[in-house]
Structure 1
Amino acid sequence: MSNKEQVVGEVEITPENRDRIIKEYAPMIKYVANRIALRLPPHIEVDDLISVGVLGLIDAINKYDPTRGAKFKTYAEFRVRGAILDELRSMDWVPRSVRQKASSIEAVIHKLQSKLGRPPEDEEIALDMGIPLDEFYGNLHQTQSMPILSLEDLGIAKESGEQQSLLDCLAGKGDADPQTHLRLNELKEIIARAIDSLPEKERLMISLYYYEELTMKEIGEVLGITESRVSQIHSKAVFRLRTKLKAVIADEL
């Protein structure tokens, strides 16, 4: 059995049965697309996201290497989600005013965290921005649909100097030289530390939303808070992670 003939469920990955694989994974694509759409404006069509997700799945089929030990289902979900987020970013549908607010919040969080040596409180962020607390919460709500970062942004430079995406590293594509493996492990540790450094409630939010895959409404029911408050906590966690991950990219690990 060749690399492309790895069995996925009851379907083998081969060029000849690509349509069968896409059909088998169609529910996953729809689930991911609908989940992302929950945080998007109404004019973004879910069907368009699903179409992009199909392209992401095809990309996963073409690039998957089972000899690296990663499960196809996990890799396919990464590719589908990444393709949809990349498409949203290329559409540049977020208004400039919202991007400016997001940049301002991100900069203040980074400044205060460096100054205080701890995650800043909501009141401290609002005070530094010179706006009432309610306005700060309103800004958080407006920026909630902006993704953290596409995994494709977290590229890793190989010894040859060529840039290799994190997703390809996870799938084992390309020349997996020792330096690439080392830098990938470093990146995983940095991301884990970034999540661990979040305040407890924000860390729980990341776990429930991204790992347990609960909706904002379901998380609110679990934590006993309103869906609006859940959205605020999620947005703050996203800004903190964006700040840390951007620093990683800027320093090239």
Structure 2
Amino acid sequence: MSVQKKTTCSHFELWVQWKEHQDIEAKKQLIELYLPIVDFVSNRLAAGLPRNVSKDDLTSNGVLGLIDAIEKFDYLRGLQFETYASWRIRGAILDSLRSGDWVPRSVREKAKKIEEAYQVLEQQYLRTVTDAEMSQYLEVTEKDFRTMVQDVSIMTLCSLEDPIREEDSEMRISVLVDETAKNPEYKVNEHFLKSSLVEAIDKLTEKERTVVSLFYYEDLSLSEIAEVMSLSPSRISQLHSKAILRLRSVLEKNKAILMEA
């Protein structure tokens, strides 16, 4: 019975049956229909997490995020459910990891030091700084610096429920604006931040730009990128972490400029 229903009902009809008539069978079909999104998001997140983090746990929490998305999604607004669900699934997984205290305080402190170092040195030299310059600034060996970058690779993930800054109560989700209701100030800020991001990406090393492009635009996993670039997965993880830390430092600096303007 349910199989026949799946073949005769369109996605829109399933949404109507669930939202308008609270049809539990329609809800179950929507969950099954969009389960691949959970696999996609959990696989991408797993690539940057320690091995002791269970992939099954990520998937389980991702399913909870999918169910929450299906329950809260307004199908009448004409928005893409896949995009909305991806954020909800990602947020659910990261929230579960955060509640388990998966990132030690020492790792957070290392990430903050590296971000601040990139911001100070690249503002000073007006170019991409080398590992040697970073090591000298942080007063560690280059080997220790690479180890630090590897250690903070798990910090390159974020959730919409995270505060914009550690000392702020405002969350990232609060700055998301309805695509149908952009005001002029938002457009100016959006253009400024996009320009800043493009400029920051241009300052990355060639290998860092390649990793960012393959990971975020081509949807390759870190292991797949390692094969493409003929490098070890750990090296790819380092390049990804360094790129994200550089981009974060630039965006934080420019966000502060916007707030002062």
TM-score range, shorter chain: 0.7 to 0.9
What residue identity is the alignment partner of 1:185? E
Q: What is the match of residue 28 of structure 1?
A: 37
Aligned with residue 169 of structure 1, among 163, 177, 191: 177
User: Does the 8 Å contact 2:118/2:246 carry over to 1?
Assistant: yes
**TM-score of the superposed pair, with normalisation by structure 1:** 0.77
What residue identity is the alignment partner of 2:137? D
Q: What is the match of residue 3 of structure 2?
A: none
Q: Please state if 1:61 is matched with 2:91.
A: no
Q: Indicate the larger mover: 125-134 or 221-230.
A: 221-230
Equivalences, count: 238
How do 1:63-212 and structure 2 match up within 5 A? 63-65=72-74, 70-153=79-162, 165=173, 169=177, 176=181, 178-179=183-184, 181-182=186-187, 185-186=190-191, 187-212=193-218
In our comparison, the structure showing a higher alpha carbon Rg is 2
CA RMSD of aligned residues (A): 3.2
User: Does the 8 Å contact 2:160/2:172 carry over to 1?
Assistant: no
Q: What is the match of residue 240 of structure 2?
A: 234
Identify unmatched segments of 5+ residues in structure 1. 1-6, 156-161
Q: Indicate the larger mover: 108-117 or 126-135.
A: 126-135
Larger fraction in helix: 2
SS of the equivalent of 2:177 reads helix
Specify whether residues 154 and 189 from structure 1 end up closer, same or farther in structure 2 by C-alpha distance, changes over 3 A only: farther
Q: What is the match of residue 12 of structure 1?
A: 15
Which whole-Å CA distance do the structure 2 matches of 1:235 and 1:138 have between them? 11
Which whole-Å CA distance do the structure 2 matches of 1:116 and 1:122 have between them? 14
SS of the equivalent of 1:138 reads helix
Deviations 1:35-55 (A, max 9, x none): 312322343233332232223
Which whole-Å CA distance do the structure 1 matches of 2:172 and 2:142 have between them? 42
Aligned with residue 44 of structure 1, among 53, 60, 63: 53
Distance apart, 1:113 and its partner CA: 0.7
SS of the equivalent of 2:53 reads coil
Q: Please state if 1:224 is matched with 2:230.
A: yes
- Taking every aligned residue pair, what percent have the same amino acid on both sides? 41
Which whole-Å CA distance do the structure 1 matches of 2:27 and 2:126 have between them? 51
Q: Indicate the larger mover: 116-125 or 240-249.
A: 240-249
User: Does the 8 Å contact 1:149/1:242 carry over to 2?
Assistant: no
Q: Please state if 1:243 is matched with 2:246.
A: no
Which whole-Å CA distance do the structure 2 matches of 1:85 and 1:30 have between them? 15
Which whole-Å CA distance do the structure 2 matches of 1:163 and 1:234 have between them? 24
Distance apart, 1:219 and its partner CA: 1.1
Which whole-Å CA distance do the structure 2 matches of 1:245 and 1:169 have between them? 18
Specify whether residues 37 and 170 from structure 1 end up closer, same or farther in structure 2 by C-alpha distance, changes over 3 A only: farther
Specify whether residues 52 and 11 from structure 1 end up closer, same or farther in structure 2 by C-alpha distance, changes over 3 A only: same
